[in-house]
Protein backbone atom coordinates (compact mmCIF):
# COMPACT_ATOMS: atom_id res chain seq x y z
CA UNK A 1 0.00 0.00 0.00
CA UNK A 2 1.55 3.27 -1.14
CA UNK A 3 0.65 6.38 0.79
CA UNK A 4 1.53 9.14 -1.61
CA UNK A 5 0.31 12.25 0.15
CA UNK A 6 0.77 13.24 3.75
CA UNK A 7 -0.55 16.16 5.72
CA UNK A 8 1.55 18.42 7.95
CA UNK A 9 -0.65 17.19 10.80
CA UNK A 10 1.90 14.72 12.20
CA UNK A 11 1.21 13.36 15.64
CA UNK A 12 3.68 14.92 18.02
CA UNK A 13 3.26 12.81 21.15
CA UNK A 14 -0.47 12.84 20.37
CA UNK A 15 -0.79 16.53 21.11
CA UNK A 16 -3.05 18.84 19.10
CA UNK A 17 -2.22 18.92 15.44
CA UNK A 18 -2.22 22.03 13.24
CA UNK A 19 -5.75 23.03 12.32
CA UNK A 20 -7.27 21.40 15.38
CA UNK A 21 -10.45 22.79 16.84
CA UNK A 22 -11.21 23.86 20.38
CA UNK A 23 -14.11 21.45 20.81
CA UNK A 24 -12.44 19.84 23.85
CA UNK A 25 -13.80 19.93 27.41
CA UNK A 26 -13.26 23.11 29.40
CA UNK A 27 -10.32 23.62 31.71
CA UNK A 28 -10.31 21.66 34.97
CA UNK A 29 -10.46 23.46 38.26
CA UNK A 30 -11.22 22.65 41.87
CA UNK A 31 -12.00 19.02 42.74
CA UNK A 32 -11.21 16.72 39.83
CA UNK A 33 -14.20 15.37 37.96
CA UNK A 34 -13.94 11.95 36.25
CA UNK A 35 -13.52 13.72 32.90
CA UNK A 36 -10.69 15.88 34.23
CA UNK A 37 -9.03 12.92 35.91
CA UNK A 38 -9.15 11.01 32.65
CA UNK A 39 -7.78 14.01 30.77
CA UNK A 40 -4.84 14.27 33.16
CA UNK A 41 -4.26 10.53 32.81
CA UNK A 42 -4.14 10.89 29.03
CA UNK A 43 -1.76 13.86 29.24
CA UNK A 44 0.52 11.86 31.51
CA UNK A 45 0.39 8.94 29.13
CA UNK A 46 1.06 11.21 26.19
CA UNK A 47 4.10 12.79 27.81
CA UNK A 48 5.89 9.49 28.24
CA UNK A 49 4.88 7.58 25.11
CA UNK A 50 7.00 7.18 22.02
CA UNK A 51 6.15 9.77 19.40
CA UNK A 52 3.78 8.25 16.86
CA UNK A 53 4.90 9.96 13.66
CA UNK A 54 2.59 8.29 11.14
CA UNK A 55 0.57 11.08 9.49
CA UNK A 56 -2.85 11.03 7.92
CA UNK A 57 -2.65 9.67 4.39
CA UNK A 58 -4.40 9.39 1.05
CA UNK A 59 -3.53 8.06 -2.40
CA UNK A 60 -4.25 8.45 -6.13
CA UNK A 61 -7.59 7.42 -7.56
CA UNK A 62 -7.16 4.66 -10.10
CA UNK A 63 -10.90 4.34 -10.71
CA UNK A 64 -11.30 6.48 -13.82
CA UNK A 65 -13.97 5.06 -16.11
CA UNK A 66 -17.64 5.96 -15.51
CA UNK A 67 -18.98 4.40 -18.73
CA UNK A 68 -16.74 6.84 -20.59
CA UNK A 69 -14.85 5.60 -23.67
CA UNK A 70 -11.12 5.97 -23.24
CA UNK A 71 -8.38 4.86 -25.61
CA UNK A 72 -5.41 2.67 -24.76
CA UNK A 73 -3.08 5.62 -25.28
CA UNK A 74 -5.14 7.73 -22.86
CA UNK A 75 -5.08 4.92 -20.31
CA UNK A 76 -1.30 4.75 -20.64
CA UNK A 77 -1.03 8.52 -20.21
CA UNK A 78 -3.35 8.39 -17.19
CA UNK A 79 -1.13 5.74 -15.64
CA UNK A 80 1.83 8.07 -16.06
CA UNK A 81 -0.06 10.57 -13.94
CA UNK A 82 -0.68 7.92 -11.27
CA UNK A 83 3.01 7.00 -11.33
CA UNK A 84 3.96 10.67 -10.99
CA UNK A 85 1.76 10.95 -7.89
CA UNK A 86 3.30 7.84 -6.38
CA UNK A 87 6.77 9.22 -7.07
CA UNK A 88 5.74 12.57 -5.54
CA UNK A 89 6.32 14.39 -8.83
CA UNK A 90 3.30 16.59 -8.25
CA UNK A 91 4.00 19.17 -10.95
CA UNK A 92 4.09 16.44 -13.62
CA UNK A 93 0.94 14.83 -12.23
CA UNK A 94 -0.79 18.21 -12.23
CA UNK A 95 0.03 18.76 -15.91
CA UNK A 96 -1.27 15.33 -16.87
CA UNK A 97 -4.53 15.50 -14.95
CA UNK A 98 -5.19 19.10 -15.96
CA UNK A 99 -5.08 17.91 -19.56
CA UNK A 100 -7.55 15.13 -18.76
CA UNK A 101 -10.01 17.53 -17.14
CA UNK A 102 -9.80 19.68 -20.27
CA UNK A 103 -10.00 16.90 -22.87
CA UNK A 104 -12.30 14.50 -20.97
CA UNK A 105 -14.30 16.68 -18.58
CA UNK A 106 -16.56 13.81 -17.49
CA UNK A 107 -13.70 11.71 -16.11
CA UNK A 108 -14.17 11.84 -12.33
CA UNK A 109 -10.85 10.25 -11.39
CA UNK A 110 -8.89 12.96 -13.18
CA UNK A 111 -10.48 15.61 -10.96
CA UNK A 112 -9.74 13.57 -7.84
CA UNK A 113 -6.10 13.19 -8.74
CA UNK A 114 -5.75 16.82 -9.77
CA UNK A 115 -7.29 17.75 -6.41
CA UNK A 116 -4.63 15.62 -4.76
CA UNK A 117 -1.84 17.64 -6.39
CA UNK A 118 -3.35 20.91 -5.15
CA UNK A 119 -3.80 19.42 -1.69
CA UNK A 120 -0.10 18.61 -1.62
CA UNK A 121 0.63 22.22 -2.57
CA UNK A 122 -1.57 23.32 0.36
CA UNK A 123 -4.06 24.91 -2.03
CA UNK A 124 -7.02 23.62 -0.09
CA UNK A 125 -9.75 25.75 -1.66
CA UNK A 126 -8.75 24.67 -5.16
CA UNK A 127 -8.45 21.07 -4.02
CA UNK A 128 -11.93 21.21 -2.49
CA UNK A 129 -13.42 22.70 -5.66
CA UNK A 130 -11.95 19.86 -7.73
CA UNK A 131 -12.91 17.08 -5.33
CA UNK A 132 -16.49 18.32 -5.22
CA UNK A 133 -16.55 18.19 -9.02
CA UNK A 134 -15.22 14.61 -8.90
CA UNK A 135 -17.97 13.60 -6.48
CA UNK A 136 -20.59 15.29 -8.62
CA UNK A 137 -19.46 13.11 -11.54
CA UNK A 138 -19.06 9.95 -9.48
CA UNK A 139 -20.48 10.00 -5.93
CA UNK A 140 -19.08 6.54 -5.20
CA UNK A 141 -15.35 7.32 -5.17
CA UNK A 142 -14.10 6.34 -1.73
CA UNK A 143 -10.77 8.07 -2.33
CA UNK A 144 -12.54 11.33 -3.09
CA UNK A 145 -14.40 11.30 0.24
CA UNK A 146 -11.15 10.44 1.98
CA UNK A 147 -9.38 13.43 0.40
CA UNK A 148 -12.27 15.77 1.19
CA UNK A 149 -12.05 14.59 4.77
CA UNK A 150 -8.38 15.58 4.88
CA UNK A 151 -9.21 19.00 3.45
CA UNK A 152 -11.91 19.46 6.09
CA UNK A 153 -9.38 18.67 8.83
CA UNK A 154 -7.04 21.34 7.45
CA UNK A 155 -9.94 23.79 7.52
CA UNK A 156 -10.88 22.83 11.08
CA UNK A 157 -14.19 21.25 10.03
CA UNK A 158 -13.76 18.12 12.08
CA UNK A 159 -17.31 16.81 11.94
CA UNK A 160 -17.38 17.25 8.16
CA UNK A 161 -14.20 15.19 8.01
CA UNK A 162 -15.80 12.51 10.17
CA UNK A 163 -18.76 12.31 7.79
CA UNK A 164 -16.51 11.97 4.74
CA UNK A 165 -14.23 9.34 6.27
CA UNK A 166 -17.33 7.40 7.35
CA UNK A 167 -18.77 7.61 3.83
CA UNK A 168 -15.48 6.41 2.36
CA UNK A 169 -15.66 3.35 4.62
CA UNK A 170 -19.29 2.70 3.71
CA UNK A 171 -18.18 2.51 0.09
CA UNK A 172 -14.98 0.60 0.81
CA UNK A 173 -14.95 -1.10 4.25
CA UNK A 174 -11.45 -2.50 3.70
CA UNK A 175 -10.02 0.98 3.07
CA UNK A 176 -7.09 0.93 5.51
CA UNK A 177 -6.14 4.59 5.10
CA UNK A 178 -9.66 5.78 5.83
CA UNK A 179 -9.79 3.53 8.90
CA UNK A 180 -6.54 5.06 10.13
CA UNK A 181 -7.55 8.65 9.46
CA UNK A 182 -10.91 8.19 11.18
CA UNK A 183 -9.08 6.68 14.16
CA UNK A 184 -6.77 9.69 14.19
CA UNK A 185 -9.78 12.01 14.16
CA UNK A 186 -11.43 10.25 17.12
CA UNK A 187 -8.11 10.13 18.97
CA UNK A 188 -6.78 13.66 18.59
CA UNK A 189 -9.75 15.88 17.83
CA UNK A 190 -12.89 14.23 19.16
CA UNK A 191 -11.20 12.45 22.10
CA UNK A 192 -13.48 9.43 21.75
CA UNK A 193 -10.85 6.88 22.68
CA UNK A 194 -13.01 3.76 22.41
CA UNK A 195 -13.93 4.64 18.83
CA UNK A 196 -10.30 5.51 18.07
CA UNK A 197 -9.19 2.07 19.24
CA UNK A 198 -11.87 0.40 17.13
CA UNK A 199 -10.70 2.08 13.94
CA UNK A 200 -6.98 1.71 14.72
CA UNK A 201 -7.57 -2.02 15.13
CA UNK A 202 -9.52 -2.18 11.87
CA UNK A 203 -6.61 -0.43 10.15
CA UNK A 204 -4.09 -2.84 11.70
CA UNK A 205 -6.14 -5.83 10.52
CA UNK A 206 -6.11 -4.56 6.92
CA UNK A 207 -2.47 -3.59 6.32
CA UNK A 208 0.01 -5.95 4.71
CA UNK A 209 2.90 -5.33 7.11
CA UNK A 210 2.92 -4.83 10.88
CA UNK A 211 2.74 -1.26 12.16
CA UNK A 212 4.39 -1.65 15.52
CA UNK A 213 4.18 2.03 16.42
CA UNK A 214 0.40 2.14 16.00
CA UNK A 215 0.00 -1.20 17.79
CA UNK A 216 1.99 0.11 20.76
CA UNK A 217 -0.16 3.23 20.87
CA UNK A 218 -3.36 1.17 20.79
CA UNK A 219 -2.06 -0.96 23.66
CA UNK A 220 -1.34 2.17 25.68
CA UNK A 221 -4.78 3.61 24.95
CA UNK A 222 -6.36 0.38 26.18
CA UNK A 223 -4.32 0.48 29.38
CA UNK A 224 -5.33 4.09 29.93
CA UNK A 225 -9.00 3.21 29.60
CA UNK A 226 -8.64 0.21 31.88
CA UNK A 227 -6.83 2.23 34.55
CA UNK A 228 -9.14 5.23 34.19
Please tell me whether residues 110 and 87 are part of one structural domain.
Answer: yes
The answer to whether position 54 is within a domain reads no
CATH number at 118 reads 1.25.40.10
C-alpha to C-alpha distance for 96 and 107, rounded to whole angstroms: 13
**Structural domain contains residue 227:** yes
Same-domain check for residues 162 and 75 = yes
Give 21-27 contacts, CB < 8 A, sequence gap 24+. Answer: 21/156, 21/158, 21/189, 23/158, 23/189, 23/190, 24/191, 25/191
Integer distance in angstroms from the first to the last C-alpha of the chain? 36
Residue 81 lies inside a defined structural domain of this protein? yes
Residue by residue, pLDDT tens for the chain (228 residues) are 333 333 333 333 333 332 332 232 233 333 333 333 333 333 333 333 333 445 565 667 665 555 677 888 999 999 999 999 999 999 999 999 999 999 999 999 999 999 999 999 999 999 999 999 999 999 999 999 999 999 999 999 999 999 999 999 999 999 999 999 999 999 999 999 999 999 999 999 999 999 999 999 999 999 999 887
Domain span holding position 101: 69-172
Query: Does 53 fall in a domain?
Result: no
- The alpha-helical segments, DSSP class H, found in 57-175 are 72-86, 90-103, 108-120, 124-137, 142-154, 158-171
Which strand (E) or helix (H) includes residue 6? strand 5-6
3-state secondary structure 177-207: HHHHHHHHHHHHHHCCHHHHHHHHHHHHHHC
Domain assignment present for residue 202? The answer is yes
Number of domains in the chain: 2
63 within 8 A of 14, measured Cβ to Cβ: no
Domain co-membership, 147 together with 114 = yes
Amino acid sequence: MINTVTTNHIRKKHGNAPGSTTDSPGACSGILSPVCAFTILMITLTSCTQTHEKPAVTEPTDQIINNIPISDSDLEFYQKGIDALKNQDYSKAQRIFTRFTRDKPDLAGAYSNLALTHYKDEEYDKSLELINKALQLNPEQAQAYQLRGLISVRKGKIHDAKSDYTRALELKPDYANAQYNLALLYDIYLQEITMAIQHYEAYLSLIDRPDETTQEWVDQLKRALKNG
